[in-house]
Every structure is written in structure tokens, then in C-alpha cells.
A and B are shown apart, each in its own frame.
Chain A
Amino acid sequence: GQQVMQIPQYQHVQEGEDFTTYCNSSTTLSNIQWYKQRPGGHPVFLIQLVKSGEVKKQKRLTFQFGEAKKNSSLHITATQTTDVGTYFCESGGYNKLIFGAGTRLAVHP
């Protein structure tokens, strides 16, 4: 079945450093969603990408969907302590929603 592999599992950065998490699939994805989950919290929707090669920005966050629609990335520029949490990618239709295992980001001041 379809799987979405997310790497790295964990990333530890110093405040001000950049951070990137990647999601990869062996099959073409119809869409990809990114969520953030703060420690002890619930997932919160960040963005949706549907077009090949699509790039979207939200302040310091840049989201990209690969040309072949098999991979996606989330890049954070100049991390802050408020960026701490786990970032998940997710894809599929309502009858087959697949989440990546998540990348846990730790930011040290």
C-alpha cells in the first residue's frame, strides 16, 4: 500500500539555524498536507500542496512539492524556540489518509 516516508525522525538545532524535513513516496501523490504538533498538543494544519513543483511560503516556512509529485519538503529559515514540535506530512483522499511518522524538532537557545 501507499506509504509516506518522512526524514529525519529527529533534528536538534541551535536557534537561528535552518531546518528541513522531507517526505518521500514511491507513488505519485495527489496532494500533500503539512501539520505541526506542539509537545502535548494536537496536529494543526499548516498548508496544502497539490501542483507539481508548487512552492508556498509562510513567513519563515517554505513548502515544496516535487516535480514528480512523489516528494515534499518543509524548510524553516532561522529557527526560533517557538518552532519546537513535530512536523507531519500527510497525503491521500478521505478514504486513505496516510501520515508520515513525523520529524521532531528541538531548538536550543
Chain B
Amino acid sequence: DAGITQSPRYKITETGRQVTLMCHQTWSHSYMFWYRQDLGHGLRLIYYSAAADITDKGEVPDGYVVSRSKTENFPLTLESATRSQTSVYFCASSESRVLSSGRRNEQFFGPGTRLTVL
């Protein structure tokens, strides 16, 4: 029972290079999310996806691209990495069952990818 996994766990790259972070979940959750975590900012939503082939921007989408061709995978690509994108990246997933007013399903987070851009 793998749950939600991320790869690689650690990555060092150089400014200007393209980097793809992978996220895979085995629960068939409809929703998937990408966050970045920086000291003093908590978690900030980059992109999310409500289902395969449906993606939308979060709070900080600039410099990132996502795709979701299959329900279980949600890769995040930095097309031209910058130093400001050095961060810890978390992927999360959630079911999409409709619940009572104001209530929604919990998010399950992956272990994270620590990315350093030199």
C-alpha cells in the first residue's frame, strides 16, 4: 500500500535547467495538489487538479507547468529553474466526495522533494 509517493526525494540542479518532479498516488483520488514550503511562508499552493486533464492555478503558479493525463500521476515541471524555486515541494491528494456544507475531504501528503537550484 504505497499511498502517495514523490520522486526524486532530493534534487540539485542549475539555473535555467528543466526539472520535473513526479507524484504518484494509488488511491484513485480525484484531486491532486502541488505545494511549495518555504521558511516563514508555510505551504503555498502552486497548482491543483480536479481530475485527469483538468488543472488549475493556485496561489504561486508562475514558472511551473503541470499535466494530468492519468488520474494517478501529477508531474510538476520547472521549465527554466531559478534560485527562487529552491524549496521543498509537496504533492497531496484528496477524494472528491460531496460532503455536507463547508466540509471537504482531508488531503494526504507525499513525503516531499527537496529541490536546490544553484
Contact: A93 with B104, CB < 8 Å? yes
- How distant is the Cα of A109 from the Cα of B1 in the complex, in angstroms? 36
Contact: B110 with A94, CB < 8 Å? no
Contact (A50, B102) CB under 8 Å given A88-B42, A97-B58: yes
Inter-chain contacts of A102 with B (CB < 8 A):
42
A27 interface residue (CB < 8 Å to B): no
Q: Which of B33-82 contact A (CB under 8 A)?
A: 33, 35, 40-45, 48, 50, 56, 58-59
- How distant is the Cα of A73 from the Cα of B42 in the complex, in angstroms? 17
- How distant is the Cα of A95 from the Cα of B90 in the complex, in angstroms? 17
Inter-chain contacts of A41 with B (CB < 8 A):
111
Contact (A42, B109) CB under 8 Å given A94-B31, A94-B50, A99-B44: yes
Binding site for A on B (CB under 8 A): 31, 33, 35, 40-45, 48, 50, 56, 58-59, 90, 92, 94, 100-104, 106-112
A80 interface residue (CB < 8 Å to B): no
Count of chain A to chain B residue pairs whose CB atoms are closer than 8 Å in the complex: 54
Inter-chain contacts of A25 with B (CB < 8 A):
none
CB closest residue in chain A, given B96:
A94
Contact (A100, B42) CB under 8 Å given A31-B102, A50-B101: yes
What range describes how many residues of A lie at the interface? 20 to 34
Q: For the complex, would chain A's binding face be called helix, strand, loop or mixed by DSSP majority?
A: loop
Contact: A101 with B41, CB < 8 Å? yes
- How distant is the Cα of A96 from the Cα of B64 in the complex, in angstroms? 18
Contact (A94, B48) CB under 8 Å given A43-B90, A44-B109, A102-B42: yes
Q: Which of B40, B45, B106, B111 contacts A48 (CB 8 A)?
A: B106
Binding site for B on A (CB under 8 A): 6, 30-31, 33, 41-45, 48, 50, 88, 90, 93-95, 97-102
Q: Which of B33, B50, B112 contacts A97 (CB 8 A)?
A: B33
Contact: B41 with A94, CB < 8 Å? no
Contact: B112 with A42, CB < 8 Å? yes
